[in-house]
Structure 1
């Protein structure tokens, strides 16, 4: 049995299947963990959703910003983004079943291995804000998940589209608390020197050298999290792997590569991808 971690798929179904073939993924005993953004700008988001759902207990994903946007589009709250290719999902006869499954996926996975077989890890789509402990991140994620999985999920989707509040305060309640959580766990890249979420800059850190923004994982003053934080979302990084943070979005949909890590021994696998987004 092996545990495989992969970055943003964004509808690149054939690339995913080719990479799983490369590692000889056995769906009867191996486990696949996906760092969110199953869907959006690749050619076959519908097949990605069906495949991951059909993995059952051997498939695990966190929700990414594109996954949440699909749910909002399906409810008529938002329009598809210009480069999205998700209409086949909305037209599919099993659309309702797929979207119900999607909104029951978590924002955060904390994976522990029995008997110390391997170190544990924490997975979200964008990362964990440095002001949060793992306990706080888990509690906040579970609060949003509970709404998404309830009859009130449309209300949440209607009110999640804003960049405020940008700064965390433990006194935040209701939609302000939920919105900060969604933005932090699914959209975060940079923080301001004051600790606020910046929702605009997507450039790589080497292009932002004036001190106005700091990558969330480079903030020195942070709540300690003992386990490696796995994330995606930021293709411009080209991947980040160290003892504390593992970024797995290597821009598959943009003509980069799809990257997978076998957790037990840290071996990295990657396949180049054609440009899918246009």
Structure 2
């Protein structure tokens, strides 16, 4: 019985099956998935159905592309650039899939295994306790009758720095951006959204979020995806899981029990846009 953490699948169903075959994934094994199950790749619908059908054997946190799909479902955006999502929106089981997806958490913590997982990371300005409370704020709204209203207020880069006095939709937007869009940050906790390259591409005054000195140790190893340009990084309590499958690199699985890594080569299904779209 083993637990495998996998980064951004983004609709790459065939590659996911190849990776699971390689690791000999069995009925007694479990998956931790770091979000962005869908979009850009060719088979998002098959990925969603497969993961959902795993039941309790799949632990999923929401990524920015998953949230974007939910926003499309609720009619909160009319963005037409995501044609790979149309099969989901036209599926007979759309409502069931979307209800399942919006009930996924923003953060998963397992003290026994010693890991915590979010899509983009946990900013250094939050303790694990505070991060859990803020994740719960977003999850409570997502799983309520106010979900549609949340998605109508989700998009935007402001506010970009945490202040506990921020309230309402602005507060929920900022929490969501920390958990699902964060890459570069200042020591004060200000986010920067235009940079999505590697370590050498940090805008002036910003550093990769995981290099910022934490105000309080998490006492967990962080698992995260979202940042394909990083590749495989294991750095002082953080493990990057997005190895750019949809860009033609590979899909990676990390076995939590012993740290073993497995990878499946991938075809390129997408090309990086010259101008990042809002869900990046």
TM-score, structure 2 as length reference: 0.93
Q: Aligned partners of 1:84, 1:169: CA distance in 2, in Å?
A: 37
> How many pairs does the alignment contain?
271
Does residue 133 (structure 1) correspond to residue 100 (structure 2)? The answer is no
Runs (5+) with no aligned partner, structure 1: 114-118
Q: CA deviation at 1:264?
A: 0.6
Matches of 1:84 and 1:185, distance apart in 2: 25
> What residue is the counterpart of 2:216 in the other structure?
223
Q: Summarize the Cα distance change of 1:187–1:214 in structure 2 as closer, same or farther, 3 Å threshold.
A: same
Given the alignment of the two structures, is residue 145 of structure 1 paired with residue 139 of structure 2, yes or no?
yes
Q: Of residues 170, 176, 181 in structure 1, which corresponds to 2:164?
A: 170
Q: Is 1:259–1:269's contact at 8 Å kept on the other side of the alignment?
A: yes
Partner secondary structure for residue 93 of structure 1? coil
Residues of 1 paired with 2:235 and 2:178: CA distance?
21
| d(CA) in 1 for partners of 2:3, 2:142 | 27
CA distance in 2, matches of 1:84, 1:232: 23
Which of 155, 169, 186 is the matching residue for 1:161? 155
Where does residue 234 of structure 1 map in the other structure?
Answer: 227
Could you report, residue by residue, the CA deviation over 1:202-237 in whole angstroms, capped at 9, with x for unpaired residues? Answer: 1111233x7421100011243211100100000011
Corresponding residue for 2:278? none
Q: Of residues 212, 220, 241 in structure 2, which corresponds to 1:248? A: 241
Whole-Å Cα distance in 1 between the matches of residues 181 and 232 of structure 2?
A: 16
1:272 counterpart residue number: 265
CA distance in structure 1 between the partners assigned to 2:71 and 2:189 by the alignment = 29
> Equivalences for 1:175-186 in 2 at 5 Å?
175-186=169-180
Q: Cα distance 1:142–1:34, how it changes in 2: closer, same or farther (>3 A)?
A: same
The alignment yields a C-alpha RMSD, in angstroms, of 1.4
- Residue aligning to 1:116: none
**TM-score computed with the length of structure 1 as normaliser:** 0.94
Per the alignment, in what secondary structure is the counterpart of residue 274 of structure 1? coil
- 1:199 pairs, out of 164, 170, 193, with 193
Whole-angstrom CA distance in 2 between matches of 1:239 and 1:25? 22
CA distance in 1, matches of 2:38, 2:56: 20
Distance 1:221 1:133, change over 3 A: closer
* Structure 2 unpaired stretches of 5+: 272-280
Deviations 1:226-249 (A, max 9, x none): 100100000011121134000100
- Alpha-carbon separation, structure 1, partners of 2:62 and 2:83: 17
